[in-house]
Structure 1
Amino acid sequence: MSENNDSSEGRFGRTADSPTVMQNVDAAARELARTLLRSARHGALAVLRPGDGHPAASRVIVTTDFLGRPLLLMSDLTLHARALAADPRCSLLVGAPGKGDPLTHPRLTVFGTASAIAADDPERPALRERFLARHPKSALYADFGDFRFVRLEPQSASLNGGFGRAFELMPDDFIDRPAGELETTAMRARDHINAEHRDAVDRIAAKTGYEGRGWRIATLDRLGFEISRGDALRRVEFRADAVAGGGFRSAFVDLAEGKR
């Protein structure tokens, strides 16, 4: 994405003569954006308060659907649910700070519109399974009558990778393309690996810098997967798109054998 791309002006609040420190979006920025969003367990959701339109922020638990779009679970009784019912525009901030200055740690803000998943929507069972795979304790209330899964359809995003690393992203920079029945194939691959190759998951985790044993694959997509262990959730990316690289088996063999 060019710094002088006219399509980004206005959308990101800039005018033609506004100075910018934004960098060109490259593969590293796209991977960082995917990692921040898809490994997030929670985030800050900003909405417009009904009645006066005042900005309101709430902490929400987060998953992503198979394409990488944010998926939330919320009660109709909450302020943010009522706000989204009145005006679906919102933003979601993800990225947990570590040691030292919080502003040196990467974060991503996704701007978009939210839509609730109806109870009889054919997608709901798969979305529910995916959400509970990352947040198993949510099974206690996910099916309560006042709770809804809500999906955020991204329109743009702002990525801050730390001081001097700012990027303006469009959805195709961090959201995957649809791929037919690939999601069903991915779920079968995940279940097989968790059942038959637990040691391989631990080896992949160790090679990627995540210590300990007992990791399992929580969710999987065409570009990588999330592993979980207790309350920890980590993103691991494949060397290449699983569709183009020979399928999920080849992608996992490459990682397990240290070819990453």
Structure 2
Amino acid sequence: MMDKAEAAWTARALLRGARSAVLATQRDGQPFASLVTPAMAPDLSPLLWLSSLSEHTRQLQAEPRCALLIQGQATEANPQTAPRVTVTGLAERVEPDHIPALKARWLALHPYAALYAHFSDFSLWRVKLGGTQVVGGFAAAFRLRLADLLPDPVSVRAIAEAEAGVCAHMNEDHPDVLENMAIALAGQLSGEWRMAACDVDGCDLVAGEDRRCRVTFKLPVVDASSLRDALVAAADKARTLLKK
């Protein structure tokens, strides 16, 4: 049976690994749901690249309260066996000073979007998290406080500062390791995998514009040294699995 610590880790893993989500907004009391493509900021805030032409964007401009539903894979025929997380919060446009770094992160995880990322009607939004409910499977629901869900801010800053150098090092010097990790730890096919982003909970790998996977660490990392140790452990695990 899942406990609260496992529930928090499940919620973070689902959020970090999400490629799509259901966004719930409302207008004049009428609920509305739409498909969006989030990426998580280092501090776990969902980032959304939204068009002002979309109904959900117009609704958020009038009423910023919203919710996101992210669902994992079901283990059985019953869809309710799938882990899922619902987060509620307030959506807000990202301030201009923060757009370049956060937009680059969003695009790193959604490279296909480069085709329209420069369109003038699009802008970057961030959801400031308020509440969380995670369901680990059938009849396994937990409500989480933000204190139980969010990563340590000091660790977030430390990994964010190390991220660019770590990604460059892995992409330039260890592409074979990244390919092994994608195959053995994320069930992907071989390819030219590169590290697009990393955070306290794991790293995101991409190949081309349409392939992406997530490698989740066993435990959150706290600084550049523990990030290196986590990547070495993941590389060793991938190598061992591929030898079997």
Q: TM-score, normalised by structure 1?
A: 0.82
1:92-134 CA-partner distances (Å, limit 9, x unpaired): 001145562222111111111111114xx22111111101111
Helix, strand or coil: the match of 1:57? strand
Aligned to 1:76: 52
Which AA in structure 2 matches 1:29? A
Q: Is the 8 A contact 2:45 2:126 kept in 1?
A: yes
User: Which residue of 191, 203, 219 corresponds with 1:225?
Assistant: 203
User: 1:183 aligned to 2:152?
Assistant: no
User: Which residue of 157, 160, 179 corresponds with 2:135?
Assistant: 160
- Structure 2 distance, partners of 1:96, 1:258, is 23
Which one is further off, 102-111 or 205-214?
Answer: 205-214
Residue segments in structure 1 that go unaligned for 5+ positions in a row:
1-21
Q: TM-score, normalised by structure 2?
A: 0.87
Distance 1:167 1:111, change over 3 A: same
User: Which residue of 9, 14, 19 corresponds with 1:36?
Assistant: 14
Aligned to 2:33: 57
1:195-237 CA-partner distances (Å, limit 9, x unpaired): 2111111222334252322232222102211223453433222
Q: Is the 8 A contact 1:40 1:233 kept in 2?
A: no
- Structure 1 distance, partners of 2:8, 2:220, is 13
Distance 1:64 1:209, change over 3 A: closer
Aligned residue runs from structure 1 range 41-190, under 5 A = 41-49=19-27, 52-98=28-74, 100-118=77-95, 121-179=96-154, 180-190=157-167
Q: Is the 8 A contact 1:245 1:251 kept in 2?
A: no
Task: Write 1 or 2 for the structure with the bigger share of helix.
Answer: 2
User: Which residue of 201, 208, 216 corresponds with 1:237?
Assistant: 216
Distance 1:33 1:232, change over 3 A: farther
Structure 1 residue 251, shift from structure 2 partner: 1.9
Structure 1 residue 68, shift from structure 2 partner: 1.5
Q: Name the % identity.
A: 36
- Structure 1 distance, partners of 2:163, 2:224, is 14
Aligned to 2:176: 199
Which one is further off, 162-171 or 238-247?
Answer: 238-247
Aligned residue runs from structure 1 range 5-44, under 5 A = 24-26=3-5, 28-44=6-22
- Compare CA radii of gyration and give the structure with the larger one: 1
Size of the aligned set, in residue pairs, is: 234
Which AA in structure 2 matches 1:246? S
Residue segments in structure 2 that go unaligned for 5+ positions in a row:
none
Q: Structure 1 stretches (4+) deviating beyond 6 angstroms?
A: none
- Structure 2 distance, partners of 1:228, 1:45, is 24
Structure 1 residue 140, shift from structure 2 partner: 1.9
Q: Is the 8 A contact 1:112 1:156 kept in 2?
A: yes
Q: Is the 8 A contact 1:76 1:82 kept in 2?
A: yes
Distance 1:204 1:97, change over 3 A: closer
